[in-house]
Chains A and B, each alone.
Chain A
Amino acid sequence: GQNIDQPTEMTATEGAIVQINCTYQTSGFNGLFWYQQHAGEAPTFLSYNVLDGLEEKGRFSSFLSRSKGYSYLLLKELQMKDSASYLCAVKSGNTPLVFGKGTRLSVIA
């Protein structure tokens, strides 16, 4: 099976930078996804990492270290609209994606 851990809640200030960590244990690692989910809405895709390193996409970046079983999502220049849950999900082999429990981020003024 897989074990995916991420913090339950985080709070950060508008304009700041926040890093949301995700650790996982799995065999046959085949990629890691980050999704964003606003309250009452569906998850939407943010990023995908399969090789070690940093993937940058505007204000959002995602990092992966396969040897450490570790990823983080970095959000820069935080805006109030970034208040949402951020879901880490891991793919192993040909099995379906497994989601972590999500990190609820609150951005305060």
Chain B
Amino acid sequence: NAGVTQTPKFRVLKTGQSMTLLCAQDMNHEYMYWYRQDPGMGLRLIHYSVGEGTTAKGEVPDGYNVSRLKKQNFLLGLESAAPSQTSVYFCASEKSGTSYNEQFFGPGTRLTVL
């Protein structure tokens, strides 16, 4: 059981470049989340998904797109990267939206946009 994995672990982009971050989970969880974490700002929700084929906006969705074509995968796309998107990105999964279910986090992707 790998849990939640993220690819890549590190990436440096130039302004205007695009990239996709991949999150995969092998726990058959319904819910998946993408967060960004910046110093002094805590974890902020970018987008989330409550099941295969569904996505919804979180607190800071601008500049990002997501897709959940398969239950086990949740992709985060940056179409035209900006320096303000320099951050650590965490993916998380949850069995369902029931209140008592904990979230399981991936190891994070450290992205720098120059």
- Interface flag for B45 (CB, 8 Å): yes
- Interface flag for A96 (CB, 8 Å): yes
- Interface flag for B97 (CB, 8 Å): yes
Contacts of B44 in A (CB 8 A): 99
- Interface flag for A17 (CB, 8 Å): no
Asked if A48 meets B107 with Cβ closer than 8 Å, knowing A101-B40, A101-B42, the reply is: no
B102 touches A45 (CB 8 A): yes
* Min distance, Cβ B88 to any Cβ of chain A, angstroms: 9
* Measured CA separation A57–B51 after assembly (Å): 32
Q: Give how many B residues have a beta carbon under 8 Å from the other chain's beta carbons.
A: 22
Of the residues A41, A91, A96, A97, contact of B107 by C-beta under 8 Å: A41
* Min distance, Cβ B33 to any Cβ of chain A, angstroms: 7
* Measured CA separation A108–B61 after assembly (Å): 39
* Min distance, Cβ A53 to any Cβ of chain B, angstroms: 15
- Interface flag for A107 (CB, 8 Å): no
A99 touches B102 (CB 8 A): no
- Interface flag for B77 (CB, 8 Å): no
B108 touches A42 (CB 8 A): yes
* Min distance, Cβ B74 to any Cβ of chain A, angstroms: 14
A87 touches B43 (CB 8 A): yes
If A33-B102, A41-B107 are given as contacts, then 20 extra A-B residue pairs at C-beta distance below 8 Å, sorted by A number, are A8-B40, A30-B99, A31-B99, A42-B90, A42-B107, A42-B108, A45-B102, A45-B103, A48-B102, A50-B100, A91-B99, A96-B33, A96-B48, A96-B58, A98-B45, A99-B35, A99-B43, A99-B44, A100-B42, A101-B42
**Which positions in A face B, CB cutoff 8 Å?**
8, 30-31, 33, 41-45, 48, 50, 87, 91, 94, 96-102
